[in-house]
Structure 1
Amino acid sequence: MTITTPAAPAAPVPAQLREARIPEDGLYEGRRLLRRLPEGTEERPYEHFEVVPQGRTIGAEIRGIDLSRPLTPVLREELNRALLEWKVLFFRAQHLTSEAQRAFARNWGELEVNPLLAGGSSPDVVLFDKGAGTTPTFENVWHTDVTFREKPALGAVLQLREVPPSGGDTMWADMAAAYDNLPQSVKDRIDGATAVHDFIPGFIRFYGPERLVPLQDEFPPVEHPVVRTHPESGRRMLFVNTSFTTHITGMDRAESDRLLRFLFQQAHVPEYQVRFRWQAGDIAFWDNRATQHYAVDDYVPHRRVAERVAIAGDRPY
């Protein structure tokens, strides 16, 4: 009797993978490098207050400090270390007077006057009073404050006086993390590059030429490095933003626009962000050299009132 061995089943024919293409220069999924401290820096405890992290690389609530009282040199130094490490610090229920808010900010330098925004109780206090029927200004875009200045602000101290029943959060993005995660090919392109910053694109959206023309001589366009080095931490950080960066120096306009769009996108990555839900009397103190921020405009017709003081900075390098 002949025994026939069944033939082995034929190997399946691999399916033909259809051709697919997504647009270049986008944001894609994958693990990101999330490094809060400069490379080689060791974690150290805080001795004068409690630090409660609010994000992986950015944002911490500081507990156990009354900001209405003068800072000792030791406390100021430890708060500055926290600012460098966390980039934005939150203090709950401080309810500072405008003068106390200014006094706290002056621990980091002279205060800046911004003639483009509504003044508060003194020329160096900016008042944001938003709601139905108020004059609109728009901060719901990722931006770094006043990069149109030769010396953009070091930082800012913002206090909410009145909060809406819901909404009105503020978000910050860590621009050191944004730089760390750029493709090496992009880093190579922007290493040593500069970009032009101008106040007009950020303000023409809500002010007419009659308001802006008289300020053109005071604020001419300036050039800053596309990647700045933090003067205290030494971190390299992406330093372009949608509100004020107009083009990359010496680059064809179309090429500059395409590269800037890609760089602007980096602030939109949630892994680099922290979001703060305000209560009346809360304070946020951020490092304007290392961050971008976005004021979420989702509360009108309710009212939101805030005061901000900004600390004069130095020229980026």
Structure 2
Amino acid sequence: MEYDHFKVSPVSGALGAEIEGVDISSSLSDGVVADIRQALLDHLVIFFRDQDLSPEAQIAFSKQFGELDEHDFVKGMKGYPELIRLVREADEAGRNFGGVWHSDVTHQESPALGSVLYGVDVPPYGGDTLFANQYMAYEALSSGMKEMLDGMIAIHSAIGPFGPQGRSKVYWRNMDVETNEKALEEVEHPVVRTHPETGYKGLFVNGTFTLRFKGMTEEESEPLLKFLFRHSSQEPLTCRFRWKKGSVAFWDNRSVMHYALNDYGGYRREMRRSTIAGDRPF
């Protein structure tokens, strides 16, 4: 597809595209914003290079696509509650934040529309982010599996990462993470989600927040969930983004999972994220 205001170059056959010729820290016309939104719907995740994005500029850019959501468990930046810092110092060991395939904040009744991630301090190598196309994940299933999953409901919760005994107490020591009883709350989402703008169907389960299927125990749910987690992150469904300082990734959380690689020990990495509020999945 051709766009009127910038050049778009796909980065893989599955999803992802790099946008050239746009300074997203500047005031954007309605036409440019509309083209960016369309590129996001077409490619599911879009990337910008060489951006000088202040906190104010990141908020202004993100708000052009919807209201911003404050994280339930990670405290926002001082003066900018809509932004969170994802920090891993050079001497930290263990699991990194986002180091498992997931969609953002699916523990909420209305999970995020999307997220904008900005590279503040990037290691010289490593720390790439992978993205996976959940439309393709659904379409690659057999007709029998699709028929079974359509109409199924999954239970989501933040107990794993953010519960009283969650892994955030062990890792992420340089982030302002709060663990509390709110993480014990459970919500229901369809296993197969229909995108509200494109009408396409995609898988909507992930290893961070999905606990089990409605009407089943965790033990009963585990085999099918494990299959879906593996299936939905197969290499042919993915693209990989190599970060540089000033890079931006903007993904559609309704159709994409992502995974932050943990392969840059000895180097510092700091990212800044804004999250755009979404609606109730159906």
When normalised by structure 1's length, the TM-score is: 0.82
Deviation at 1:183, TM superposition (A): 1.5
| CA shift in 2, pair 1:253/1:161, >3 Å | closer
8 Å contact kept, 2:67–2:277: yes
Which residues of 2 match residues 301-312 of structure 1 at below 5 A?
A: 301-312=266-277
Q: For the pair shown, which has the larger CA radius of gyration, 1 or 2?
A: 1
> Which whole-Å deviations, capped at 9, do the CAs of 1:53-94 have from their partners, x for residues lacking one?
101131000001111112211111111111001000000001
Q: Which one of the candidate residues 215, 223, 230 is aligned to 2:182?
A: 215
Q: Which whole-Å CA distance do the structure 1 matches of 2:247 and 2:97 have between them?
A: 21
Q: 1:177 — aligned with what?
A: 136
> Which whole-Å deviations, capped at 9, do the CAs of 1:115-152 have from their partners, x for residues lacking one?
31243241110101112345965311100000000000
Partner of 1:108, secondary structure, is coil
Q: 1:66 — aligned with what?
A: 23
Q: 1:38 — aligned with what?
A: none
Which residues of 2 match residues 107-256 of structure 1 at below 5 A?
A: 107-121=64-78, 122-133=80-91, 137-203=96-162, 204-207=166-169, 211-216=178-183, 220-256=185-221
| CA shift in 2, pair 1:60/1:191, >3 Å | same
1:87 partnered with 2:49 = no
71-80 or 300-309, which deviates more: 71-80
> Which whole-Å deviations, capped at 9, do the CAs of 1:275-305 have from their partners, x for residues lacking one?
0111100111000111000000111221001
Q: Which whole-Å CA distance do the structure 1 matches of 2:161 and 2:220 have between them?
A: 22
Partner of 1:223, secondary structure, is strand
8 Å contact kept, 1:137–1:206: no
> Which whole-Å deviations, capped at 9, do the CAs of 1:149-174 have from their partners, x for residues lacking one?
00000000000011112101011000
Give unmatched runs, 5+ long, in structure 2: 171-176
8 Å contact kept, 1:142–1:267: no
- Give the aligned residue type for 1:189: M
Q: Which whole-Å CA distance do the structure 2 matches of 1:305 and 1:212 have between them?
A: 21
1:272 partnered with 2:237 = yes
Q: Which whole-Å CA distance do the structure 2 matches of 1:257 and 1:214 have between them?
A: 24
- Give the aligned residue type for 2:252: D
8 Å contact kept, 2:86–2:97: no
Q: Which whole-Å CA distance do the structure 2 matches of 1:125 and 1:211 have between them?
A: 15
Q: 1:100 — aligned with what?
A: 57
Deviation at 1:221, TM superposition (A): 0.5
When normalised by structure 2's length, the TM-score is: 0.91
Q: Which whole-Å CA distance do the structure 1 matches of 2:28 and 2:50 have between them?
A: 18
Percent of residue pairs identical: 44
8 Å contact kept, 2:122–2:270: yes
Q: Which whole-Å CA distance do the structure 2 matches of 1:255 and 1:180 have between them?
A: 25
304-313 or 262-271, which deviates more: 262-271
Q: Which whole-Å CA distance do the structure 2 matches of 1:148 and 1:127 have between them?
A: 20
8 Å contact kept, 2:203–2:232: no
Give unmatched runs, 5+ long, in structure 1: 1-43
Q: 2:173 — aligned with what?
A: none
8 Å contact kept, 2:212–2:218: yes
Q: Which whole-Å CA distance do the structure 1 matches of 2:14 and 2:237 have between them?
A: 7
| CA shift in 2, pair 1:187/1:255, >3 Å | farther
RMSD (Å) for aligned C-alpha atoms: 1.8
8 Å contact kept, 2:168–2:179: no
Q: 2:174 — aligned with what?
A: none
8 Å contact kept, 2:91–2:265: no
260-269 or 237-246, which deviates more: 260-269
